[in-house]
């Protein structure tokens, strides 16, 4: 094997996403098209997708996607699940055998409803209950990993190139109002099924291009609050930070963005608006350990929208395009044009400047 230096290793993962602000249905393989012109950004050691609005018939239930080592692990995890949830539906996630994706684990999904009696005895709300269950399963080494746990959304990921992963999971058979996608080029950690992006918890999902210099500082802080980093990839911690800031601390998306990509103190001092200056200073002071340093471009998916964010130095590329009701995000403009050749506007957001896109109305007109 040739070492870096003997052979050029062009760095950089690929990320892409699309959302229809009117909630229009987008097939799951559209973001796979974005991955084709960015093929060199991946190396076949991970690809994945997250789709939102894909399970309307089970919208009221948590969709738990699992990797199991074997049938025994599934039986064991299932027995544990039954102690905590009513299982409404249980099935293999449909896949297609293709030569490009091999050695797959047992890939299963459950649609579940937390048991009210257990919720009462643990004295937590439903979402916290689901988070605790996911953490418990993923740390107890039962031979099963939960890799998706939100409502009306789901992650699909594997070891392989993202275009092949989309084919493997038959994503053309799903439709959702938003999708994110990732092609992986692991540099520091192993390429394995659980380490592919997106990293999810509840309906949060994160795809990430870059590497986090502050990983261990972030991990130590977030593990104080019951999160456990078990998946051997730095991106995982961003997902838990977002859950902590958005769900548990109740911050807005803009506020969470200015915690993880906080402006420099010198920039805060120059901020003209005193209210804004005070707020930025407050967030940096209260959450210093959640500043994420090192290069990153990420796309956060959540119930009803997407947020794209670059590190404050903008050490990774990201482009945003719009046409009609749809917004497209990708590491490269060529990828956006692969999804929509007639794109109307294209721009590159500045470092630390979040781009937030939400549905104009909740899907189905509710809420």
Q: Does 329 engage in binding with another protein (CB under 8 A)? A: no
Closest approach of Cβ 316 to another protein, in Å? 9
Closest approach of Cβ 254 to another protein, in Å? 19
| Count of residues engaged in binding another protein, rule: CB under 8 A | 21
Mapped onto helix, strand or coil, the DSSP state of residue 359 is coil
Q: Which two tokens stand for residue 196?
A: 């592919």
Identify the residue among 146, 335, 339, 357 touching another protein (CB under 8 A): 335
Closest CA to 168 of 102, 110, 109: 102
Q: Does 346 engage in binding with another protein (CB under 8 A)? A: yes
* d(C-alpha 329, C-alpha 50), whole Å: 14
* d(C-alpha 44, C-alpha 161), whole Å: 4
Identify the residue among 163, 303, 333, 340 touching another protein (CB under 8 A): 333
What character string, x for contact with another protein (CB under 8 A) and - otherwise, covers 4-23?
Answer: ------x-------------
User: Which residue number, 34 or 134, has a Cβ lying nearer to another protein?
Assistant: 34
Q: Which residue shows structure tokens 């299982």?
A: 87
Q: Does 24 engage in binding with another protein (CB under 8 A)? A: no
Q: Does 350 engage in binding with another protein (CB under 8 A)? A: yes
Kindly tell me the burial class for residue 60, based on how many C-beta atoms sit within 10 Å of its own C-beta (0-12, 13-18, 19 or more).
Answer: exposed
CB 296 within 8 A of CB 212: yes
Closest CA to 245 of 178, 307, 184: 307
User: Which residue number, 38 or 307, has a Cβ lying nearer to another protein?
Assistant: 38
Closest approach of Cβ 350 to another protein, in Å? 7
* d(C-alpha 316, C-alpha 11), whole Å: 11
Residue from 12, 13, 134, 155 carrying the catalytic annotation:
13
CA dihedral 167, 42, 152, 134 (to 10 degrees): 120
User: In degrees, to the nearest 5, what angle opens at C-alpha 317 toward C-alphas 100 and 357?
Assistant: 90
Q: Does 332 engage in binding with another protein (CB under 8 A)? A: yes
Q: Does 44 engage in binding with another protein (CB under 8 A)? A: no
Query: Which residues bind to another protein, rule: CB under 8 A?
Result: 10, 37-40, 267, 270, 313-314, 317, 319, 332-335, 337-338, 346, 348, 350-351
Which residues are catalytically annotated? Answer: 13
């Amino acid at each position: 094997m040739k070492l870096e230096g003997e052979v050029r290793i062009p760095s950089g993962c690929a990320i892409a996403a699309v959302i229809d602000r009117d909630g229009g249905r987008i097939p799951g393989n559209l973001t796979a098209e974005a991955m084709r012109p960015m093929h060199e950004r991946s190396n076949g050691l991970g690809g994945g997708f997250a789709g939102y609005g894909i399970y309307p018939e089970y919208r009221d239930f948590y969709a738990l996607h699992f990797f199991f080592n074997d049938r025994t692990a599934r039986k064991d995890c299932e027995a544990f699940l039954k102690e905590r949830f009513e299982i409404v539906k249980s099935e293999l996630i449909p896949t297609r055998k293709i030569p490009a994706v091999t050695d797959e684990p047992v890939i299963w999904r459950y649609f579940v409803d937390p048991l009210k009696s257990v919720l009462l005895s643990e004295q937590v709300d439903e979402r916290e209950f689901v988070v605790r269950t996911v953490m418990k399963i993923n740390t107890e080494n039962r031979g099963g990993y939960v890799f998706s746990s939100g409502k009306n959304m789901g992650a699909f990921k594997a070891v392989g190139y993202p275009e092949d992963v989309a084919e493997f999971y038959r994503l053309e058979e799903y439709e959702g109002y938003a999708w994110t996608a990732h092609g992986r080029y692991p540099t520091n950690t192993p390429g394995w099924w659980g380490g592919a992006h997106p990293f999810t918890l509840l309906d949060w999902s994160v795809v990430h291009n870059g590497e986090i210099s502050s990983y261990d500082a972030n991990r130590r802080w977030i593990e104080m609050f019951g999160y456990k980093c078990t998946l051997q990839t730095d991106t995982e911690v961003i997902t838990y930070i977002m859950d902590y800031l958005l769900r548990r601390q109740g911050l807005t998306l803009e506020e969470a963005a200015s915690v993880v990509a906080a402006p420099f103190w010198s920039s805060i001092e120059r901020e003209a608006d005193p209210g804004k200056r005070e707020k930025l200073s407050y967030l940096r002071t209260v959450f210093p350990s959640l500043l994420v340093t090192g290069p990153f471009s990420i796309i956060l998916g959540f119930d009803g929208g997407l947020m794209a964010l670059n590190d404050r130095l903008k050490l990774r590329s990201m482009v945003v395009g719009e046409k009609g009701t749809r917004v497209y995000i990708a590491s490269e403009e060529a990828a956006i044009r692969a999804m929509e050749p007639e794109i109307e506007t294209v721009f590159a957001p500045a470092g630390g400047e979040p781009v937030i896109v939400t549905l104009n109305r909740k899907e189905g007109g509710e809420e």
